[in-house]
Structure 1
Amino acid sequence: MLNTKQIVVVVVVIVMIGALLAQPIKGLVDKDEQNTAAVAEESASSMYTLKSVSELAKQGINASLAQEISTIEQQVVKAEGEDKVSLLQSLANKWEDLAKPIPQGFIYKEIAESTPALEYWVKAGDAFRTGYTNQQDTALASALNKLAIESYQKAVDLDANNLAAKTGLGASLVTGSANPMAGIALLREVVQADPKNLDANKTLGLFSMQSGQFDRAIDRFKTVIEIKADAESYFYLATAYEKIGQKTEAIAAYAKSKEMAADPTLSQYIDRQIEELSK
């Protein structure tokens, strides 16, 4: 049985799969459009701060929890040195418990700036990346994507061989830069160094689907499933099989996704897909 966060992910997969396949990889546009987008992203990134995203995130949580977070924030303002870092980490943990990655990103960025360490830059990048994934506010998504790129680049500058940093940077460059092929090249470097790297293989699989390279997507998601099978990966594998007309394989993969998710919303969708494929 999936936990609440996993169920949300599975449902989002159903909603977003059409949008994923409909969107070309960013960067395959003319230079004027790229320049306009770059200016917009630069402007957007300056609009958001830890304070602003924290206030926004508090609107969706219990009032007592919001007050706990506000109390720690007030303590952070007065603290210095290791005490401040400790309080910021406590604040990041609170947002982690609430599954609110965007404030986490700004917190880890602040820690990394005061205590330069690869670990915190990677955590900042991961939080920003999670925050912009499936983000409906396009201005916020662009700002977070830019911040993710900056954070991962800081980590890579500290250790050019860190696979987590390279994977995050590669994924963020593909989705939010004018040079997506540089991101894909980084991801390929990661899987060359670590063929069983889960995140890099999954990300390359998604980009293969987005660019209509379904044969490659199938290979990637088969690797992902060998490493760590989940409902989402089986769903994408099934979709890729369906796109190239391999109905039997698609039905089998959809069935595995349904079995692993044990979620009514996904099950109903998959039943309809299987019914269509069985005709």
Structure 2
Amino acid sequence: MSRTRITLIVAVIILTGLVYSLPRVKEKATDETAELTAENQASGVADHSGEHDGHDHDDHDGHDHSGHEHGVKEDVSLRKQLVQVKESYENSEISAKRLMFADSLAGMYKSLGQFDSAAFIAEQSMPAEPSADRLRSVGEYFYDAFQYASDRSKASEYGEKTRKYLAMYLKDHPEDLSSKTHLAMTYASTDQPMKAVMSLREVLAKDPDQPDALFAMGMLSMQSGQYEKAAQRFKHLVEVSPQHLQARFYLGLSYFELGKKSKAKSAFEWVVANSDDPVVQATAGDYLEQLQ
């Protein structure tokens, strides 16, 4: 595997949390089939050794958090609050209060990068007849868990949960293009990857500037070696969201692969100047050294 591929994998872990196991593309793809094939080969997660029960919720809900250490710093104060709120949640017998504590607890787990625990609490506390906002909230929690899942089976489980709740929500709120994009991306690593691309196209047809869909399509193009297409997507996204760090980085990487050194240099210099993560800065800096 080339140095570029290795660095790309590291950068994806750092920048997006959507951990792609990028295949080496022997021939540059020229159509959507190749794009889909590349995405279908990628699981959306990294494989980690070790078995995790995932059902004993006495210790941080018993979930596997080994895949959630992407720049998330331990916050002692927040963890103390979490313990207190968790106790209130577990001891509350009034449904309204229990739901309030569940919302707070899920938010704290998310802040600490424990996305599967956040999703579990949100789902467990769901009312018998959840509101549309509740369905969306639970679906998005599972999408976070899907992105950071530590193995393929967990990613599959969380992806299915994401589709379940977001599909219910989108049935009455089809205008929510962000949630539609997230649902689409869970199909990318299944045996129905065409659903991902078709849904993303539908999103961009309705809103050509939708950030999540632009980024997703850019990543699909990168994985299939279609760097010209990727550059177009990321360039568009940067025009829409000038402070989008991931888009800047992958725009630079697309230009790097295309041999457009001046444009790649400009993009990586922006990342170095605007990122507050020393690892991201070092990664971009490594490319700048190669461009000298």
Which residue is 1:37 aligned to?
none
Task: Tell me the equivalent position of 1:257.
Answer: 271
Shift of 1:193: 0.9
Instruction: State the partner residue of 1:216.
Output: 229
Structure 1 equivalent of residue 215 of structure 2 = 202
Closer, same or farther in 2 for the Cα pair 1:155/1:207, shift >3 Å? Answer: same
1:141 aligns with 2:155: yes
In the TM superposition, 1:1-279 aligns within 5 A as: 12-13=14-15, 19-20=21-22, 22=24, 24-26=38-40, 48=54, 51=57, 54-56=61-63, 62=76, 64-65=80-81, 67-76=83-92, 78-80=93-95, 82-112=96-126, 114-175=128-189, 177-228=190-241, 229-278=243-292
Alpha-carbon contact 2:184-2:197 (below 8 Å) kept? yes
8 Å CA contact retained: 2:253, 2:264: yes
Instruction: Pick closer, same or farther for the CA change 1:134–1:277 going to 2, 3 Å.
Output: farther
Deviation of 1:95 (Å):
2.0
Task: Please tell me the residue identity of whatever aligns with 2:282.
Answer: Q
1:148-206 deviations in whole A, cap 9, x for unaligned? 2222222222333332331111111113x211111111111111111211111111111
The percent identity for this pair of structures is: 21
5+ residue gaps, structure 2, are: 1-9, 26-37, 43-50, 67-73
Measured against aligned partners, the alpha-carbon deviations of 1:39-77 in whole angstroms (never above 9, x if no partner) come to xxxxx9xx645937623479987574453243033135x
For structure 1, which runs of at least 5 residues remain unmatched after alignment? 1-7, 29-43
| Greater share of helix | 1
Contact 1:201–1:224 (Cα < 8 Å) also in 2: yes
Q: What TM-score do the two structures reach when normalised by structure 1?
A: 0.76
* Deviations 1:70-96, CA, capped at 9 Å, x for gaps: 3033135x333x333223222223323
* 8 Å contact from structure 2 (residues 132, 169) kept in 1: yes
Deviation at 1:143, TM superposition (A): 1.8
Q: Distance in 2 between matches of 1:266 and 1:185?
A: 32
Q: Give me the whole-angstrom Cα distance separating, in 1, the residues matched to 2:146 and 2:264.
A: 30
The answer to whether the Cα contact below 8 Å between 1:72 and 1:91 also exists between their aligned partners in 2 is: no
Q: How many residues align?
A: 253
Return the alpha-carbon distance in structure 1 between the equivalents of residues 254 and 228 of structure 2.
7
> Would the aligned equivalents of 2:11 and 2:280 in 1 still touch at CA under 8 Å?
no
- Contact 1:122 1:164 (8 Å CA) reproduced: no
TM-score, normalisation: structure 2: 0.73
Is residue 63–residue 117 contact of structure 2 (8 Å, CA) maintained in 1? no
Following superposition, the deviation at residue 224 of structure 1 comes to 1.5
Question: RMSD value over aligned CA atoms?
Answer: 3.5
Give, in whole Å, the separation in 2 of the partners of 1:251 and 1:270. 9
Secondary structure in 1 aligned to 2:186? helix
Supply the AA of the counterpart residue of 1:198. Answer: P
**Any conservation in 1 of the 2:54–2:63 contact (CA below 8 Å)?**
no
